[in-house]
Amino acid sequence: MLSIRHADERGATRRDWLSSLHSFSFGEYHEPRHMGFGPLRVINEDRVEPARGFGTHGHRDMEILSYVLEGALEHRDSMGNGSTIHPGDLQRMTAGTGVQHSERNPSPDQPVHFLQIWIRPGREGLEPGYEQRTFSASEKRGALRLVGSRDGRQDSVRIHQDVDLYATCLDTGETVDHRLGADRKAWVQIARGRAELNGRALAAGDGAAIAEEPLIRLRAVSDAEILLFDMRP
């Protein structure tokens, strides 16, 4: 089974400083057919104008990942963490019992383009936590680089859920394969570019739910950056 969620089908939140496109129900956008996929709850594609951002607000019982495609994103939280992430960085915040944070574009003249991803944790009430890793383009070039996992193997960010998150950067014509276990399902998100997924055409912003497909084959139709979530149902 392969079900495509096209980019132009997503929900949207637009402000004078923000464009946010929602693969799943989020905020004022509610679509009962798209409430998430397995433990994957949110994929928002956000663009934030220079020197603007999300003020301090709270979360709990969620794994929140930020993956920057262009520009920079400044993070501050109630645990005392403060950092700026750039393309190639993956940030994980465990909201757990409760955390306050803010996200801001620190550039005076350049927008930031990033994916915000929420994953339900394996259990509630976790101690809040923070982690950040840099994965170079060369690590992802022509290969599926593990960037997030439950056990933090291969120096990936630790996600408190049975999810393996891979990232790849493919040149036009390049192909990568991923074997999907019989008891697993997957979500593929095209961050940019165009690709074929098991022969089906996908473009930037498209996502696809995958189950009962033993082989996932991604082929770049143009230079592409792609995320793949391998998870338990």
Q: Which of 142, 113, 88, 99 is nearest to 204 (CA)?
A: 113
How confident is the model at residue 68, as a pLDDT?
Answer: 97
Quick one: which of 70, 68, 66 has its CA closest to 81?
66
Nearest to 156, CA basis, from 166, 169, 141, 143? 166
Residue 233: band (very low, low, confident or very high) from pLDDT cuts 50, 70, 90: confident
pLDDT of residue 67 exceeding 90: yes
Taking the chain, what is the end-to-end CA distance rounded to the nearest angstrom? 14
Domains of the chain and CATH, by start: 11-134 (2.60.120.10), 137-231 (2.60.120.10)
CB 165 within 8 A of CB 135: no
Summarize pLDDT for 70-107 with one digit per residue, the tens.
999 999 999 999 999 999 999 999 999 999 999 999 99
How, if at all, do strands 40-48 and 112-119 pair? Answer: antiparallel
DSSP 49-81: -TT-EEEEEEE-S-EEEEEEEES-EEEEETTS-
Reported as a single tens digit per residue, the pLDDT across 145-194 is 999 999 999 999 999 999 999 999 999 999 999 999 999 999 999 999 99
pTM value surpassing 0.95: yes
Instruction: Please tell me the distance from the alpha carbon of residue 68 to that of residue 88, in angstroms, as a whole number.
Output: 7
Residue 91: per-residue pLDDT:
98
**Mind listing the pLDDT tens digit for each residue in 21-33?**
999 999 999 999 9
Average confidence (pLDDT) over 36-47: 98
Closest CA to 232 of 175, 154, 150, 151: 150
Mean pLDDT of 114-126: 98
| Contact of 166 with 159, CB cutoff 8 Å | no
pLDDT value of position 139:
96
